Every structure is written in structure tokens, then in C-alpha cells.
Amino acid sequence: MRHLKNNVKLGRSSAHRKALVASLVCNFIEQQQIRTTLPKARQARSMAEKMVTLAKANTLASRRLAIAELRRVGHVAKLFKDIAPQFGDRHGGYTRIVKLGQRHSDGSEMALLQWVDIGPRVRKPKPEAKPGAKPEDKPDAGK
């Protein structure tokens, strides 16, 4: 039974998976949003939320734990200095995932991972009219 087993293997070894998720979170901290596949976005969201919770404590021990997970001191410093103070009164739910539809090449479900109250909010593009839809009245240019 898979009770309390909530990590997705993503087709990688455990070391590769940890490095991938740490890299995604570091890029997320740097760029404020990332576009990736839905399973990767869910894994990155989980780690990003934990890192913000650590950063809100703002202790030496929490900083060392964050560096041990993310492996990049500069990104941890930005997390502690810029991002965590903006979530001072929020108790969780620091990120959002916006589904973007399927990727053309292989049909993977794509998603956008964003901070909730930081930066511009990007919405999904509206689908265009289908070919069988009734066209609008357009004046003919040649007549």
C-alpha cells in the first residue's frame, strides 16, 4: 500500500530527482515564475513552500537547512532577504500553479508556477475560434 507516499519519481534516480527539483526551485526564486510540466511544477511547489517556511523563521539553522536543500547560497540569500518577508502574514499557500495546456511536441501537460502576491499574474490564453465556427461579417476589400 502507498499510504503517505507522496513523491513522484519523474523517471529519475533519487539523486537526479533531488537535483532537478532544487534547480527548479532556484530558478523559480530567481525568475519569480517558471514554465514546466505539471508533475515537475507540483514537486517544485512542494519544496518552494517548505523553503519559504524555513526562510520566515530567519535563523542560522533554517538558513543552513535551506542551503543544504537548494545547494546555492545566492538563491538562498535572495529567498531570505526578498521573498520571505513579503509572506510575513500568510500561513502557507505561497505559490500557484496555472495549467497551460498540452505541449505540441509530446503532449505533456504544461504549467506555470508563480508566487501568489509577487509580480504580475499571468492568465491562461483563451482558445481561438474553431474552424467550423460562424465567421464574423467582414467587408470584402476587392469589391
Domain 14-115: top CATH class:
alpha beta
Are 69 and 47 in contact by the 8 Å Cβ rule? The answer is yes
Cβ density class 64-100: b for 16+ within 10 Å, e for less? ebbeebbebeebbebbbeebbeebeeeeeebbeebeb
What predicted TM-score, i.e. pTM, was given to this entire model?
Answer: 0.80
pLDDT tens by residue, 26-36: 999 999 999 99
Cα separation, 102 vs 38, whole angstroms: 10
Q: Where are the domains of the chain?
A: 14-115
pLDDT tens by residue, 6-47: 878 999 999 999 999 999 999 999 999 999 999 999 999 999
